[in-house]
Amino acid sequence: MQTARAVPASTVLNLRDLGGIALGRGRRVRPGAVLRSGQLSGLDAAQDSEVAALGIRTVVDLRTADERSAAPDRLPPGARLFVADVLGDNPGVAPARLRALLADPVEAQRLLGGGKAEEMFAGTYRQMVLSPGAAAAHRAFVETVADDRARPVLFHCTAGKDRTGWAAALLLMMLGASREAVRAEFLAVNPVVRAAFAPYVRDFLDAGGDPEIASAISEVRPRYLDTALDAMDERWGGLEGYVRDGLRIPRAALERLLDGLVVPA
């Protein structure tokens, strides 16, 4: 099943163009309009000419204030920054502390051993669907992507896998992608993020860290996405109710989103 196109970039982690993903009934996502990645703190536009050539107008940063302060984005030429902090009402949760969780094997075992690492991440995905702060951030994200003056849009968190993964899943479902297509894109980032975290994981394991904890932290798993989808279905009866009553996205914004991002296959 087709997933996002990886954009060659040496100074941006996990840069992917959602354009081309199949939406069914002979439709696909418009190429070059909405992209996902990890943080942009290391972006070198001179070195990564392909990134500059994307013509990004808006960068949507899904990270917490602490993450933004520690590693501020370096924006592509001509782009503006828009903050949509998904974890703002609970900034200490796992996706905001990926490297810190791998830095101390003893503390990691105390907090995350015995399967608690996967439980923590799954719980964060549930929070990303149910918390009011996350809903406000996702509404702002969708309304930004729906604005043709804001596109091309690049959205990201730290590694581009958890907050960015759910934002991509939400957007693709709203455009008409099947859950199978959404799942394929969600899991497709694993090779890149595993490679990016490999030095930290190696140090963690060399210091006696639990491989299961490292794995749960440094990858996305089907259960994480399933937990978010289950929360959406249980609370709002599915995508339509979530968008209407959970995110409260105006009908006009939905129409602009579809008009701007859905093209013939």
Identify the active-site residue in 18, 157, 159, 170: 157
Cα atoms in the Cβ-side hemisphere of radius 13 Å centred on 53: 7
DSSP 94: G
User: Cα(163)–Cα(128) distance, rounded to whole angstroms?
Assistant: 8
Question: What DSSP string runs through 195-226?
Answer: HHHHHHHHHHHHTT--HHHHHHHHS--HHHHH
Is 46 assigned a catalytic role? no
Instruction: Bin 175: left if φ > 0, else alpha if -120 < ψ < 50, else beta.
Output: alpha
Helix (H, G, I), strand (E, B) or coil at 81: strand
**Long-range Cβ contacts of 250-259 (<8 Å, 24+ apart):** 250/143, 253/142, 253/143, 253/146, 254/146, 254/174, 256/146, 256/147, 256/148, 257/142, 257/145, 257/146, 257/174, 257/175, 258/175, 258/176
Q: Where does residue 108 rank: exposed (0-12), middle (13-18), buried (19+ CB within 10 A)?
A: buried
How would you list the strands of the sheet with 27-29, edge to edge?
A: 22-24, 27-29, 262-264
User: Cα(7)–Cα(235) distance, rounded to whole angstroms?
Assistant: 36
Question: Which positions are annotated as active-site residues?
Answer: 157
